[in-house]
Structure 1
Amino acid sequence: MGFQIALFFVLLLVFSTSILAQDLDDARLVIDANTTIAETDDNYICATIDWWPHDKCNYNQCPWKFSSVINLDLSHPFLANAIQAFKNLRLRLGGSLQDQVLYEVGNLKTPCKQFGKDKSGLFGFSMGCLHMKRWDELNNLFKMTGAVVTFGLNALRGRHHVRRGSWKGDWDSSNAHDFINYTISKGYRIDSWEFGNELSGKGIGASVGVEQYGKDLVHLNSIIDELYTNFQPKPALLAPGGFYDKSWFEQLLEVSGPRVVNALTHHIYNLGPGNDHNLINKILDPDHLNKISATFRNLSLSIQMNGPWASAWVGESGGAYNSGGPHVSDTFVDSFWYLDQLGMAAKYDTKVYCRQTLIGGNYGLLNASTFIPNPDYYSALLWHQLMGKGVLDVLSHGSPYLRTYAHCSKERAGVTLLLINLSNQTTFNVDVKCTSNTELHLKESIDTRKKSFTHSLKRSISWVGDKASEERFFREEYHLTPEAENLQSTTMLLNGQALQLTERGDVPSLSPVRRDINSPINIAPLSIKFIVFPNFNTPGCK
């Protein structure tokens, strides 16, 4: 008996110590639901399918497997299911090798061979080939899954290398012309054509001067106008698919002229190289995450001042470059970076955000070997299902380790709030208000002798509709944590339940936990939470 009592006090001491080790902090959020500050595209979430062969390697590992445009197993059931879960997932076909791709169509005078190792070639590879049989197979997948397609065209064709990565000469458009014409003849719908990959500014591996690039864009736009005369809708034209360079991007808008480029696409790898041992520290550092906001802000200003007809897209972003960080980019911890990026980019009027990659490398949303979703896949799917186009301003009074973003809810009334807790020891108690001082977390005592519960809530909150009932006074929570509290786990928990494919390989339903509207809102350390307030009146979302 004495032993049992002693054990009880030891356990009590351990439990009390663990509680004391966690800090509690208050945060107050004010959401302005009267107006939106920005708007995304309907298909904001985007993922890339790259061209890298299986023998693309970094840091003594080769994580691409067979995941490229050319060799991806299009018949794998997990692949189709993963795309279909979004209903209309935007896919960008492109990447570093796209400017070395020939299309086997028309009067192609050059042999069309697959990529091979070549020390004299860009990125150590030879020219590659897209056979039209493969293009047909890809489009069958796109049609079956409802994918929205952006295709990156070879922008180096016909040019010659002069020095230090600089390429000169007019673009030879003949192969691209024949490829686009074939695409139209087959009735394939392409949402947008993108011109070149990382050739802007100083370029990555190769660069083209802005005057020449702008001239070639005008030429490509005329080809699109001509070929799509009797085919609707006409695709958008995107460029340059490179890292933001203020002078170069602004000159491109000036040289190409009004309404030629529909969107400026830029790339982001703000975590550094994939072999950086500080990747996790960077992901969990709010100061580091904030640095990229200057790029979003400056690009938005460049467009406003020099090309208001265009919009901003993140055409490619994988966090860490050189195939991503092993055991980081494919694990739970990466969702802190990824969801923060989605929230931040949207605030600066970014219309589309393309994740590198759908599959391939360490940063794939799907595992390159098994096709099983990694944690970021579910983060992307939750965003797609919950966050609407309208971006709302959130004023946060609290720790910088609590990241907050709010949108109009997707295809329903109300507001969806995203909370990202970067702290490893602080639980935040969150008080949410709107600009009219209407509290979502209610503290008012209710005199049941004089007023009904429903009547008091109606007076405290601007509800959607005029027939509020007691069962409607709830919020929906989607709490994301890693399995076994391991940040580098490849298994994500939603409200404590592991997210896994069904026995048939279907993506599981992402169901919330309902909370009483009057219950406290909190978020545990190193976790993520989407909160939907379905009855909150949002004049700015109408």
Structure 2
Amino acid sequence: MAWITSKTVLSLSIGSSEGTVNVNGTASIGFVDEDFICATLDWWPREKCDYGNCSWGQTSLINLDLNNKILFNAVKAFSPLKLRLGGTLQDKVRYQKISDQEPCSNFTKDTSVMFGFTDGCFTMSRWDQLNIFFKNSGAKVMFGLNALSGRKINPNGTTYGAWDSSDAESLMRYTANRGYVIHGWELGNELSGTGIGTSIKAKQYATDTIALQKLVQKIYDGFQEKPMVLGPGGFFDANWFNEYVLEASTSLQAITQHVYNLGPGVDEHLVEKILDPSYLDGGSQPFRDLQNILKKHGTSMVAWVGEAGGAYNSGRNLVSNAFVFGFWYLDQLGMASTYDTKTYCRQTLIGGNYGLLDTTTFLPNPDYYRDDGALDQPRWS
């Protein structure tokens, strides 16, 4: 599917509001997946607050109301909609085993620990509910696995030791045995480069990605279609990504980067940035550099944006969930596709101040409609 044509010429008279746009459609400069549009679902509980604003409500993977008809119809209208399940707390999640005797505890707010929350537990009964929802609504799911399992953290914030895949293997086997279709398994969240909270060296991360690929091959042996392996789900760092691609190229199908190029949600100048073309153009560098890395190594892996909320720390109310945010969002979609990015996952489908759906009412925010202008009067209830 071609996203953008090779030449767009804008001719405007200075001081005039009239102009002419000529589009040369003879050649394409970028191709995206047919299901290019993707959205995320996060782990954040309602106690997640930023700058005194608590914007997550009941939108966590653990407590989201899956019986809400508006939510269901919003996902089904895009069928198939790619959904990336993950976020900061995914690296603090334990997956409940059927044989577990200990209770499955929820994330609890604790400012003294990394990410501000204690470890949490994910029950298989909830995983069952989610998979029924995904199947019925036509979603294609990418699940983010806990990449910190088994590691220790140095005083300088970096980690040491290899990934302990036993917990992930249990979840993956349960998923495969139940016949749940997973489009991809992604390892870790924002642990690349200097990381958020902590980080993993590129070579070790590549080794762990190779281990995940072997696990996928073993668990899905005999399956006609096997899930993709994705990673690292973090912010672009040229040296780190270059080494990661070099080491993990044969075990990775899609390399995922995150985009929050507008700065913190508390920034009072967000609207000015969003409406400044020169500022928006500055966001092209990571796309360009990543594409150059993939071309240099001649790999078959493709580039994805695995999470993009524009303004970090939950966005900004009345900005990242309002009409004006479309100037950033549409620019990002066009820019990403220009550099051959195959999938773009918006943070979030619902949750925070940057959701495609309103956190309280579940009704679509303006950017939802920008994702699919072809929807013919969707029914929300």
Aligned: 1:219 with 2:198: no
Structure 1 counterpart of 2:333: 342
Shift of 1:87: 1.7
Structure 2 counterpart of 1:536: none
Q: Is the 8 A contact 1:106 1:178 kept in 2?
A: no
Aligned: 1:24 with 2:17: yes
2:135 and 2:327 map into 1 onto residues whose CA distance is 32
Aligned: 1:38 with 2:30: yes
Aligned: 1:230 with 2:230: no
1:122 and 1:159 map into 2 onto residues whose CA distance is 14
Alignment of 1:185-264 (within 5 A): 185-256=177-248, 258-264=249-255
The C-alpha deviation readout for 1:230-258, integer Å capped at 9, x for no partner, is 223101100100011111111012222x4
The C-alpha deviation readout for 1:43-75, integer Å capped at 9, x for no partner, is 100000000000000011100000011010000
Shift of 1:312: 0.4
Name which of 266, 291, 299 aligns with 1:275: 266
2:321 and 2:206 map into 1 onto residues whose CA distance is 37
1:236 and 1:317 map into 2 onto residues whose CA distance is 20
Structure 1 segments (4+ residues) deviating >6 Å: none
Structure 2 counterpart of 1:319: 310
Name which of 366, 371, 374 aligns with 2:362: 371
SS where residue 18 of structure 2 aligns? strand
SS where residue 238 of structure 1 aligns? strand
Shift of 1:108: 5.5
SS where residue 362 of structure 1 aligns? coil
The C-alpha deviation readout for 1:454-491, integer Å capped at 9, x for no partner, is xxxxxxxxxxxxxxxxxxxxxxxxxxxxxxxxxxxxxx
Shift of 1:165: 2.1
Shift of 1:318: 0.5
1:57 and 1:307 map into 2 onto residues whose CA distance is 43
The C-alpha deviation readout for 1:148-177, integer Å capped at 9, x for no partner, is 101000000000111232111111100100
Q: 1:209 to 1:307 in 2, by over 3 A?
A: farther
Q: Is the 8 A contact 2:255 2:304 kept in 1?
A: yes
2:102 and 2:153 map into 1 onto residues whose CA distance is 18
2:193 and 2:101 map into 1 onto residues whose CA distance is 31
Shift of 1:111: 5.7
The C-alpha deviation readout for 1:160-219, integer Å capped at 9, x for no partner, is 111232111111100100100000000000001100000000001111111211111111
Name which of 138, 159, 177 aligns with 1:167: 159
Structure 2 counterpart of 1:62: 54
The C-alpha deviation readout for 1:491-531, integer Å capped at 9, x for no partner, is xxxxxxxx9875xx25xxxxxxxxxxxxxxxxxxxxxxxxx
1:121 and 1:354 map into 2 onto residues whose CA distance is 28
Aligned: 1:84 with 2:54: no
Shift of 1:28: 3.5
Structure 1 counterpart of 2:171: 179
SS where residue 49 of structure 2 aligns? coil
Q: More displaced, 88-97 or 258-267?
A: 258-267
Q: Is the 8 A contact 1:372 1:501 kept in 2?
A: no
1:110 and 1:244 map into 2 onto residues whose CA distance is 39
Q: Which amino acid aligns with 2:209?
A: L
1:239 and 1:250 map into 2 onto residues whose CA distance is 13
Q: Is the 8 A contact 1:101 1:128 kept in 2?
A: yes
Name which of 342, 347, 354 aligns with 1:351: 342
Q: 1:111 to 1:250 in 2, by over 3 A?
A: farther
Q: Is the 8 A contact 2:77 2:378 kept in 1?
A: no
Q: Is the 8 A contact 2:44 2:89 kept in 1?
A: yes
1:174 and 1:113 map into 2 onto residues whose CA distance is 19
Q: Which amino acid aligns with 2:120?
A: G
Q: Which amino acid aligns with 1:25?
A: E
SS where residue 357 of structure 1 aligns? coil
TM-score (norm 1): 0.66
Structure 2 counterpart of 1:450: none
Aligned: 1:113 with 2:87: no
Q: 1:319 to 1:125 in 2, by over 3 A?
A: same
SS where residue 183 of structure 1 aligns? helix
Shift of 1:123: 1.0
Shift of 1:106: 5.3
Gaps of 5+ in 2: 1-14
Alignment of 1:342-421 (within 5 A): 342-382=333-373, 385=374
2:206 and 2:298 map into 1 onto residues whose CA distance is 13
SS where residue 345 of structure 2 aligns? strand
Q: Which amino acid aligns with 2:338?
A: K
Q: Which amino acid aligns with 2:22?
A: L
Structure ID, larger Rg: 1
2:247 and 2:53 map into 1 onto residues whose CA distance is 42
Shift of 1:109: 8.4
Q: How many residues align?
A: 367
Shift of 1:107: 5.7
Q: 1:254 to 1:110 in 2, by over 3 A?
A: farther
Q: More displaced, 136-145 or 302-311?
A: 302-311
1:98 and 1:246 map into 2 onto residues whose CA distance is 24
SS where residue 220 of structure 1 aligns? helix
Name which of 90, 99, 102 aligns with 1:98: 90
Q: Percent identity?
A: 50
1:339 and 1:70 map into 2 onto residues whose CA distance is 30
Name which of 247, 251, 275 aligns with 1:284: 275
Shift of 1:34: 2.7
Q: Is the 8 A contact 1:166 1:206 kept in 2?
A: yes
Q: Is the 8 A contact 1:184 1:231 kept in 2?
A: no
RMSD: 1.7
Gaps of 5+ in 1: 1-21, 387-498, 507-542
SS where residue 270 of structure 1 aligns? coil
1:379 and 1:168 map into 2 onto residues whose CA distance is 43
Q: Which amino acid aligns with 2:278?
A: D
